[in-house]
């Protein structure tokens, strides 16, 4: 959408909401009607902020220069600024209505945070008269900033819409504002380290079904990790998680979510079960990968080797325990674990490996060589040497990418000493295979 269409779309939405608000509240009590309509002023402010214009002066200058044909009565900056300031309550009312109408107010995952809101520079604080009894001194650790004023609390949906924005006192610690930030909310609330307090978290979970998720401090022991998303979120987490990896409780916000365990509505009950120890652990093997060119993270799903260009053949020599077994011409090769055998490898025609089968599988992608897949014992070492072209691109779990350009480009895959553990409550491997992989998403 170009800017012209965007401005028109915003104007139509503002007009619709303004008329509803106008019927509920008396907006003007007398005086001359302004040259610009309220809808025009609010539209310019919303679009100007979206275009990253920082103040009313910049917004006026931009629309006066580029969109005077849209707003022909935009002539006096002082009138525009005054009218915009007088409409702050109307803008707040429109924002609240849009949050409800869009469904973002009921988003089960909303991020909370605070940011400093200075009312003046720090050196003028002792002479400030505007908020003498309300403002206070505060400190923002994230910005290492001492300031005088307030804190602005924010609760934001996954699409980035602000659903709640209370004005908070500057001096108290962020954890003191937790109840205010989560007022009227049920679900999962990711937050930063400033909101860590186990007792408050337990109360919110028990009384209001709110799960506050915070990163661990350096001196904290991690009992388990919580991922909120689909399989891709889990794979990215496993690439970055410290070793040995804590067990993962995966909450499904994706499409299939084959590796996930619970839906969002079951998240709070699942966390309570984890705290009580009422779960079992499913351990999944990982692949240790080496190319001789830097460190490559272990793969939970698979490692994919290709020429790095679409539809370009990669001619390779495949070895098992240093012994050549075959040569292959294909768009690429996939080496996958039991976990990964239900992913890219399966789409390429490979078999599904039961979790109890101690093996990994090599599957070609669009092979010219007449073979489908080979299942190797997990203790074997598989080497893939590039013959032509003399380079390869390595992709681990769809997220980590490395180009191997040495003279004798090769890749070695073995079983890793690390494993990934998943928290499970009821479903087994074949339940997930039937209900999520084979049938979910069809239609």
Residue 219: pLDDT band with limits 50, 70, 90: low
Instruction: Show the domain range for 126.
Output: 105-184
What backbone phi and psi angles, to 5 degrees, belong to 383?
-120, 135
Contacting residues for 185 by C-beta, under 8 A, at least 6 apart? 110, 155, 164, 208, 210
Please report the beta strands in 199-279, taking only residues with DSSP state E, as ranges in sequence order.
Answer: 210-213, 225-229, 248-252
Q: Is 220 exposed, middle or buried (0-12, 13-18, 19+ CB in 10 A)?
A: exposed
Contact yes or no for 247/224 (Cβ under 8 A): yes
Look at residue 148 and tell me if it is in a domain: yes
Residue 373: inside a domain: yes
Tell whether 58 and 81 lie within a shared domain: yes
pTM: 0.61
Query: Are 289 and 407 within one domain?
Result: yes
Residue 359 lies in a domain: yes
Residue 12 near residue 54, CB atoms below 8 Å: no
- Based on the fold, state whether residues 333 and 409 are members of the same structural domain: yes
The CA distance from 183 to 381, in Å, is 56
Look up residue 57 and give its two tokens: 């002066």
Q: Is residue 48 part of a domain?
A: yes
Q: Give the separation between CA 363 and CA 376, rounded to whole angstroms.
A: 11
Per-residue pLDDT tens digits for 55-111: 888 999 999 999 999 999 999 999 999 999 888 889 889 988 889 888 999 999 999
Helix axes 267-276, 198-208, angle to 10 degrees: 130
pLDDT more than 70, % of the chain:
97
The whole-angstrom separation of Cα 410 and Cα 406 is: 8
pLDDT at residue 220, as a whole number: 67
122 touches 146 (CB < 8 A): yes
Question: 304 pLDDT exceeds 50?
Answer: yes
Same domain, 57 and 130: no
Q: Which of 50-59's residues contact partners 24+ apart within 8 Å by CB, and which partners?
A: 50/6, 51/3, 56/80, 56/81, 56/84, 56/85, 57/81
Which positions are catalytic?
231
Domain presence at residue 395: yes
Helix axes 77-86, 56-66, angle to 10 degrees: 120
Residue 206, in any domain of the structure = no
Same domain for 349 and 296? yes
The chain-wide mean pLDDT, for the chain, equals: 88
Please say which residue of 34, 68, 101 terminates a domain. Answer: 101
User: Does residue 298 fall inside a structural domain?
Assistant: yes
What's the Cα-to-Cα distance from 90 to each of 25, 87, 152, 225, rounded to whole Å?
Answer: 10, 5, 19, 43
What is the distance between the alpha carbons of residues 264 and 253, in angstroms, rounded to a whole number?
A: 7
Q: What is the mean pLDDT of residues 321-331?
A: 92
Picking from 238, 194, 230, 236, the residue whose alpha carbon sits closest to that of residue 212 is 194
Same domain, 295 and 380: yes
Rounded to whole angstroms, how far apart are CA atoms 146 and 137? 7
Question: Is residue 441 predicted with pLDDT exceeding 70?
Answer: no
Residues 79 and 113 in one domain: no
Stretch 182-206: mean pLDDT:
88
Q: Answer with the one of 39, 72, 101 that is the final residue of a domain.
A: 101
9 lies in some domain: yes
Q: What are the Cα distances from residue 434, in Å, to 104, 154, 157, 266, 342?
A: 32, 41, 32, 21, 12
* CATH classification of the domain holding 355: 2.60.200.30
Which has the closest alpha carbon to 155: 94, 208, 108?
A: 108
215 vs 332, more confident: 332
What are the tens digits of pLDDT across the range 417-427? 999 999 998 76
Residue at token pair 């139509």: 12
- Whether residue 265 is predicted with pLDDT greater than 80 in this model: the reply is yes
- Same-domain status, 400 and 344: yes
Residues 295 and 392 both lie in one domain = yes
Region of 293 on the Ramachandran plot (φ > 0 left; ψ -120 to 50 alpha; else beta): beta
The dihedral sign for the CA sequence 141, 144, 147, 153: negative
- 118-174 tens-digit pLDDT: 988 888 888 877 887 888 999 888 888 899 999 999 999 998 899 999 999 999 989
Shared domain check, 44 and 118: no
If one counts the domains in the chain, the total is 3
The candidate with the shortest Cα–Cα distance to 10, out of 56, 67, 80, 55, is: 67
For residue 412, what are the β-bridge partners? 290, 383
Q: Are residues 72 and 158 in the same domain?
A: no
Same domain, 124 and 92: no
Domain boundary among 36, 67, 101: 101
């Amino acid at each position: 959408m170009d800017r012209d269409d965007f401005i028109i779309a915003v104007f139509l939405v503002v007009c619709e909401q303004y008329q509803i608000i106008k019927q509920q509240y008396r907006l003007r009590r007398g005086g001359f009607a302004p040259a610009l309509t309220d809808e025009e002023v609010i539209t310019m402010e919303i679009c100007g902020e979206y275009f990253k214009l920082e103040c009313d002066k910049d917004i006026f200058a931009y629309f006066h220069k580029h969109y005077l044909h849209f707003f022909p009565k935009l002539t006096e900056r002082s009138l525009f600024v005054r009218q915009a300031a007088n409409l702050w309550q109307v803008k707040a009312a429109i924002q609240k209505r849009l949050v409800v109408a869009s469904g973002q107010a009921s988003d089960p995952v909303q991020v909370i945070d605070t940011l400093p809101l200075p009312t003046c520079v720090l050196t003028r604080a002792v002479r400030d008269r505007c908020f003498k009894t309300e403002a206070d001194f505060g400190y923002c650790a994230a910005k290492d900033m001492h300031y005088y004023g307030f804190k602005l609390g924010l609760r934001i949906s996954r699409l980035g819409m602000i659903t709640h924005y209370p004005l908070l006192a500057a001096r108290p610690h962020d954890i003191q504002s937790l109840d205010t930030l989560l007022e009227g909310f049920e679900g999962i609330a990711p937050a930063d380290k400033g909101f860590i307090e186990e007792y408050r978290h337990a109360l919110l979970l028990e009384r209001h079904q709110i799960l506050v998720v915070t990163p661990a401090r350096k001196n904290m022991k991690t009992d388990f990790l919580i991922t909120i998303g689909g399989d891709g979120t889990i794979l990215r987490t496993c690439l970055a998680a410290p070793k040995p990896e804590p067990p993962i409780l995966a909450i499904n916000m994706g499409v299939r979510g084959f590796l996930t365990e619970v839906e969002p509505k079951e998240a709070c009950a699942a966390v309570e079960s984890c705290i009580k120890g009422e779960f079992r652990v499913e351990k999944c093997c990982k692949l240790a990968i080496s190319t001789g060119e830097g460190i490559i993270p272990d793969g939970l799903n698979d490692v994919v080797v290709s020429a790095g260009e679409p539809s370009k053949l990669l001619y390779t020599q495949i070895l098992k325990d240093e012994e050549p077994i075959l040569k292959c011409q294909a768009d690429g090769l996939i080496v996958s674990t039991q976990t990964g055998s239900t992913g890219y490898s399966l789409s390429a025609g490979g078999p599904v490996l039961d979790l109890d089968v101690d093996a990994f599988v090599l599957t070609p992608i669009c092979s010219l060589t007449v073979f489908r897949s080979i299942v190797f014992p997990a203790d074997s070492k598989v080497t893939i040497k590039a013959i032509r072209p003399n380079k390869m691109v390595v992709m681990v779990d769809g997220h980590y990418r490395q180009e191997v350009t040495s003279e004798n480009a090769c890749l070695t895959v073995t079983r890793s000493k690390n494993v990934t553990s998943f928290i499970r409550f009821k479903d087994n491997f074949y339940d997930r295979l039937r209900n999520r992989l084979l049938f979910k998403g069809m239609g």
